[in-house]
Structure 1
Amino acid sequence: MAYRNGNYSAFYVKEPFNESNLGASATKDFVYYNLLRAWKAQDSTFPFIDSHGKTYNVRDGSDWEKTLKPRLHERLRNSKNIILFLSSITKNSRALREEINYGIGTLGLPVIVVYPEYSEKSDIINCNSKTIKQQIKNLWGNLPTFRDSMDKVPTIHIPNKKSLIRNALNDKDFMINSKCSAGTYFYTC
């Protein structure tokens, strides 16, 4: 059995991949993944363990069935959770569907949902009613496979704020071996 200590980052990359030298790195949501990596490089106590760094890299033009899909599965099997970057530009891509279907449906990984276009808890939730705002729920429709399966695992919904991401990464309720009950969670105002 794999040692499941990594954090699997899932984000939208336009298909077909950008043919520039930057490839997937040129896409906007990839920047947020790189921000996690930069925070870790800058601060060794930042609790991000990159599951993508546990296997060798693949090229943008790699074969889906023979290389890309098996690599996604291997990385997910080595992970304790999924960090999903969900924004207004997120599209229902083949890779994201596979990551969510396999990560949630097969492995039961908890999901930390980061909304990169929002920076405060009050952007995500209504502080008075303690409910997730409709503008956030509308984003779930960008990735129907996530929307339709998120009730199977614990999901925490947070803005793109380093301190809250740190809290979520350290939260045992959102790790595979100690996860809490399936449901939708958030940090209150």
Structure 2
Amino acid sequence: MAYRNGTYVAFHANGTNIPGKSDIDYYNLMRAWSANPNDDFTLINSHEKVAAVRDSSAKETLRRSLHERLKNSKNMVLIIGKTTKYDTDWVPFEIERAVDTYQIPIIAAYVDTEKPIRNANAWSAYWPAALAKRINDGTANVIHMPFRKAAILDAIGQFSHYKLPVGGGLGCYSDQAYKNLGIDG
């Protein structure tokens, strides 16, 4: 049995790793937070728990590696920006496996707002089809929030395959929870 203590981070790479051109910037920001010894943000990154696979690797080799990473994860942070819904390759695959195979909750972190998210449905235009389908059919457990360090850190520490967010696929933090995290709005 896998030791499921990692956080799997999914994002739309938009076919590039050039800074400023995709949501990989937000993933790298999370890694920087975690690497900073003066920061309390800690990420047990599932991508670092399994041997790296180069972009030129065969698709099936990459799929096997992603499966292994997801199998070792307690939750998934899905970084959602304006282009995430257009990903037709890896993000849908990652969402499908996270929900259908490994039953891990998704922490949906939206990069286009710093304000509290109180109504997840208001962000449905951003959802990839794989996420929308699983929210609508009731199989996904999702907590929706702005891409803010305090909220992401709290969710990573709080939610896992053993402790799912309240609200099924439409979970949101309460006003009091946002206030406790220092997020106004």
Spell out, residue by residue over 1:166-189, the C-alpha distance to the aligned partner (whole angstroms, 9 max, x if none). 111121xx2012325634211123
Task: Give the distance between the partners of 1:79 and 1:132, measured in 2 at CA.
Answer: 24
Tell me how far 1:61 sits from its aligned partner: 1.4
Q: Work out the percentage of aligned pairs sharing the same amino acid.
A: 34
Tell me how far 1:112 sits from its aligned partner: 0.2
Task: Give the distance between the partners of 1:49 and 1:10, measured in 2 at CA.
Answer: 14
SS in 1 for 2:23: helix
SS in 2 for 1:119: coil
Task: Give the distance between the partners of 2:148 and 2:93, measured in 1 at CA.
Answer: 27
State yes or no: 1:42 paired with 2:33. Answer: no
Say how many residue pairs are matched.
Answer: 169
Tell me how far 1:109 sits from its aligned partner: 0.8
Task: Give the distance between the partners of 2:169 and 2:9, measured in 1 at CA.
Answer: 20
- Opposite residue 104 of structure 2, the aligned amino acid is L
Match of 1:116 among 99, 106, 111: 111
Task: Give the distance between the partners of 1:163 and 1:4, measured in 2 at CA.
Answer: 22
Task: Give the distance between the partners of 1:179 and 1:86, measured in 2 at CA.
Answer: 20
TM-score w.r.t. length of structure 1: 0.82
- Opposite residue 168 of structure 1, the aligned amino acid is A
Root-mean-square deviation (CA, aligned residues, Å) is 1.7
CA contact (8 A) 2:143 2:165 kept: no
- After TM superposition, list the pairs within 5 Å mapping 1:76-95 onto structure 2: 76-90=70-84, 91-95=86-90
SS in 1 for 2:145: strand
CA contact (8 A) 1:62 1:68 kept: yes
CA contact (8 A) 1:47 1:170 kept: no
CA contact (8 A) 2:33 2:42 kept: no
Task: Give the distance between the partners of 1:41 and 1:6, measured in 2 at CA.
Answer: 15
- After TM superposition, list the pairs within 5 Å mapping 1:166-185 onto structure 2: 166-171=153-158, 174-180=159-165, 182-185=168-171
Task: Give the distance between the partners of 1:133 and 1:71, measured in 2 at CA.
Answer: 32
- Opposite residue 4 of structure 1, the aligned amino acid is R
Structure 2, unaligned runs of 5 or more = 176-185
- Opposite residue 133 of structure 2, the aligned amino acid is D
- Opposite residue 173 of structure 2, the aligned amino acid is Y
Structure 1, unaligned runs of 5 or more = 19-23, 126-130
CA contact (8 A) 1:120 1:161 kept: no
Task: Give the distance between the partners of 1:32 and 1:81, measured in 2 at CA.
Answer: 17
Task: Give the distance between the partners of 1:133 and 1:153, measured in 2 at CA.
Answer: 14
Task: Give the distance between the partners of 1:89 and 1:83, measured in 2 at CA.
Answer: 16
State yes or no: 1:71 paired with 2:65. Answer: yes
CA contact (8 A) 1:112 1:168 kept: yes
Q: Counterpart of 2:182?
A: none
Spell out, residue by residue over 1:14-40, the C-alpha distance to the aligned partner (whole angstroms, 9 max, x if none). 2xx44xxxxx35442111111111111
CA contact (8 A) 1:83 1:112 kept: yes
Task: Give the distance between the partners of 1:10 and 1:149, measured in 2 at CA.
Answer: 16
CA contact (8 A) 1:154 1:179 kept: yes
